[in-house]
């Protein structure tokens, strides 16, 4: 009987500790200072601008997929890396019609969940696109996953929310 009571308390303590650890990860992201928040917004904006610059390089007949993929690996990780490399290859080889990205601006970040190796963040992005008839702006909300690799934050996934 004593073993059952002890087991029950151990399970209860384990659940409480687990719950506290889960909330500690979420709370850590929510309580980051304004300076860290501004820095994170700037970093995400920089990553998106570098990625869009690589996208725009596909317009040039002189662009080289090997060089573009090398640069892509500096800012993107799996599973997005494979997707981007395949998409860039298809666009370059099949001359798919596409629009040039003129400007990317991260307007806001929220719901920040951060730990040593991963950041999950909601972002609001404004895209200025070169349309076929006229330029236009589009605002989209994303949930983005960043992963720390080689001491740098890289985009590993995102989805429209």
Q: Express each pLDDT in 88-145 by its tens digit.
A: 888 888 766 678 899 999 999 999 999 889 999 999 999 999 988 899 999 999 999 9
pLDDT for 92: 82
For the question of whether the overall pTM of this predicted structure is more than 0.75, the answer is yes
Provide the residue ranges of all domains of the chain, joining segments of one domain with +.
1-31, 35-160
Quick: pLDDT tens for 3-56.
Answer: 554 445 556 566 566 554 444 444 444 467 889 999 999 999 999 999 999 999
59 vs 120, higher pLDDT: 120
**In the predicted structure, residue 76 carries a pLDDT above the cut 80:** yes
Domain 35-160 has CATH 3.40.640.10: no
- CA torsion angle 41 43 49 54 (round to 10): -150
Residue 13's pLDDT is what? 66
Contact 125, 104 (CB under 8 A): yes
Neighbours of 25 (CB within 10 A): 13
Given this model, what pLDDT does residue 29 score?
44
């Amino acid at each position: 009987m004593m073993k059952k009571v002890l087991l029950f308390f151990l399970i209860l303590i384990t659940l409480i500790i687990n719950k506290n650890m889960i909330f500690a990860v979420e709370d850590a992201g929510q309580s980051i200072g304004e300076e860290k928040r501004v820095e994170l917004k700037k970093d995400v904006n920089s990553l998106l601008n570098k990625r869009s610059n690589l996208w725009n390089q596909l317009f040039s007949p002189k662009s080289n997929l090997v060089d573009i993929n090398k640069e892509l690996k500096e800012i993107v990780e799996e599973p997005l890396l494979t997707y981007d490399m395949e998409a860039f290859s298809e666009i370059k080889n099949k001359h798919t019609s596409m629009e040039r990205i003129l400007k990317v601006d991260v307007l806001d970040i929220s719901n920040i969940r951060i730990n040593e190796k991963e950041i999950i963040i909601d972002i609001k992005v404004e895209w200025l696109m070169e349309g076929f008839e006229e330029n236009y702006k589009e605002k989209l909300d994303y949930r983005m996953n960043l992963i720390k690799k080689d001491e740098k934050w890289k985009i590993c996934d995102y989805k429209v929310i």
